[in-house]
Amino acid sequence: MTRNEYEELQKTVAELEVVLASNDLEKHKREELTLLHARMCGALVSMWLPFSNIRRAIMFILFLIGLRAFMNHNNIFFLYWFIASLYSPRVMGALSFNFGRLMNKFN
């Protein structure tokens, strides 16, 4: 997925959220649009690396610091690699999906 496709998909998801927020949709149409919205959001979080160069740089620096800690036999590298993984859209998508499933069990 290119950066332009990603930005266009973000705009489409935002427009779809506005449509879903309105109350004038039929039940069948709302279900279809909700499914489409979920699929589009899944496509947004399917990448391992973020598109933002700043986020990529932060992720890379944290990975290198963790690699250095690993080479020095320091166990803190787990923390650096965990924090670096939080910059990945795919990891954050999986975490938010599982957190949502957990919260649905309580509600």
For the chain, which residues make up each domain, given as ranges?
1-44, 48-107
pTM of the model: 0.64
Residue 1 has pLDDT above 80, yes or no: no
List the beta strands (DSSP E) in 1-107: none
Q: In angstroms, rounded to a whole number, what is the distance separating the alpha carbons of residues 95 and 98?
A: 5
Q: Are 85 and 60 in contact (CB under 8 A)?
A: no
pLDDT mean across residues, the chain: 87
pLDDT digits (tens, 9 = 90+) for 54-82: 988 999 998 999 999 989 988 888 888 89
Q: In angstroms, rounded to a whole number, what is the distance separating the alpha carbons of residues 51 and 48?
A: 10
The per-residue DSSP string of 40-70 comes to HHHHHT--SS-S-HHHHHHHHHHHHHHHHHH
Residue 86 has pLDDT above 80, yes or no: yes
List all residues 6 or more positions away from 98 whose beta carbon is below 8 Å from its beta carbon.
none
